[in-house]
């Protein structure tokens, strides 16, 4: 027991460093994937058939294959096939590759949620806007958007909480996120070896983080409950 209290500060500090990397990956993914997903959803709804076909096939491929493969391919492909390791070495290169893979993957999932939300808005909303003389962009931003947001909050919150846990996949290209940090204490990091409890402890981070997100999303849902769609 006293050994545990000796080790705790070291483990805690190391896990915080790993968790910071996890958080960074999480927020960078959202920052990229939320808007990119909207662009992809417009592509998949385009009346220009070739564009919507290409977009939908792309989304199908990304959603139909494991994120783990996408991570490996995006990380290793440039170096092994083009002979041009664009990601550079070290942690920052791994982080860049992981972020790109996550953004592409999550943008595709988000795009389908956006598309479902946009297409579920009754055509009467568009027609009423039109006969009232609203422009296409006024119709989207003033009439449709908030209704879409209200509809997509529940599926988006599911997807975003999945992202919290999916960030651990970046471990496969040795990104030093929190699982990597927790696992390192089995192999002698900071002079601590053969310990599995730090790995359990990483679970607490995930639980707290997804718990906070759940609360935030519930709050948002409540905030939008003043109207019905």
Partner 1 sequence: MAILEVSNIHKSFGKTEVLKGISFSLEKGNVLSIIGSSGSGKTTLLRCINFLETADVGRITVDGDVIFDSDTQAKLSAKEKRDKQLKIGLVFQQFNLFPQYNVLDNVTLAPRLRAKELPDYKKNKKQIIAEIEEKAKALLAKMGLSDKLENYPCELSGGQQQRVSIARAMALEPKILFFDEPTSALDPELTGEILKVIRELAEEHMTMVIVTHEMSFAKDVSDHIVFMDQGVIAEEGRADEVFDNPQSERLKAFLNNINT
Q: Which stretches of the chain bind partner 1, using CB under 8 A? A: 122, 124-125, 127-128, 130-136, 138, 142-143, 146-147, 150, 226-229
Q: Which is nearer to partner 1, 133 or 194 (CB)?
A: 133
* Least distance (Å) between residue 222 CB and partner 1: 15
Q: Which is nearer to partner 1, 63 or 142 (CB)?
A: 142
* Least distance (Å) between residue 143 CB and partner 1: 6
* Least distance (Å) between residue 148 CB and partner 1: 11
* Least distance (Å) between residue 132 CB and partner 1: 4
Q: Which is nearer to partner 1, 1 or 131 (CB)?
A: 131
Q: Which is nearer to partner 1, 10 or 125 (CB)?
A: 125
Q: Are 204 and 14 in contact (CB under 8 A)?
A: no
């Amino acid at each position: 027991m006293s050994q545990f209290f000796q080790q705790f500060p070291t483990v805690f500090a190391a896990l915080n460093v790993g968790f910071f990397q996890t958080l960074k990956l999480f927020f960078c993914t959202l920052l990229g994937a939320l808007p990119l997903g909207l662009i992809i959803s417009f592509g998949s709804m385009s009346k220009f058939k070739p564009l919507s076909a290409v977009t939908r096939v792309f989304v199908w491929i990304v959603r139909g294959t494991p994120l783990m493969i996408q991570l490996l391919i995006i990380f290793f492909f440039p170096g092994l096939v083009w002979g041009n390791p664009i990601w550079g070495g070290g942690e920052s290169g791994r982080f860049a590759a992981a972020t790109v893979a996550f953004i592409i993957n999550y943008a595709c999932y988000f795009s389908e949620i956006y598309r479902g939300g946009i297409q579920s808005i009754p055509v009467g909303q568009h027609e009423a806007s039109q006969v009232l003389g609203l422009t296409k962009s006024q119709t989207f931003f003033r009439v449709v958007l908030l209704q879409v947001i209200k509809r997509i909050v529940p599926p988006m919150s599911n997807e975003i909480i999945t992202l919290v846990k999916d960030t651990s996949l970046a471990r496969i290209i040795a990104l030093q996120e929190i699982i990597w940090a927790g696992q390192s204490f089995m192999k002698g990091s900071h002079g601590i070896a053969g310990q599995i409890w730090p790995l359990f402890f990483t679970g607490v981070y995930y639980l707290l983080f997804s718990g906070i997100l759940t609360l935030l999303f519930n709050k948002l849902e409540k905030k939008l409950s003043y109207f019905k769609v």
